[in-house]
Amino acid sequence: KRFREPKHERRPWRIWFLDTSKQAIGMLFIHFANVYLSDLTEEDPCSLYLINFLLDATLGMLLIYIGIRAVSSLVEWQQWESLRFGEYG
């Protein structure tokens, strides 16, 4: 995926790794939650994965958006330069 980015906008390897590792950790969490829930409920793991994915893609994204907006507002209000989102220094 990194090589699909335009050369002049391509993130350095370290930044790219930090961004993609967050996604991998989230996918691992969803996978293990799905395995755990399928053992508890004896439901089909595939249907539980679909439900988990849909909840993560809707409610999860909404909660993340609200959280990022709240933290960004706090960072701007307190003028904490080192905590700004997307600025890696």
pLDDT 10s digits, 51-67: 888 888 899 899 999 99
pLDDT higher than threshold 80 for residue 85: no
Average pLDDT over residues 2-30: 86
Identify the pLDDT of residue 74: 94
Using CA atoms, how far apart are residues 37 and 83, in angstroms rounded to an integer?
Answer: 36
Split at pLDDT 50, 70, 90, the class of 80 is confident
Q: Tell me the pTM.
A: 0.56
| Alpha-carbon separation of residue 48 from 8, 42, 44 (angstroms) | 41, 10, 6
Split at pLDDT 50, 70, 90, the class of 89 is low
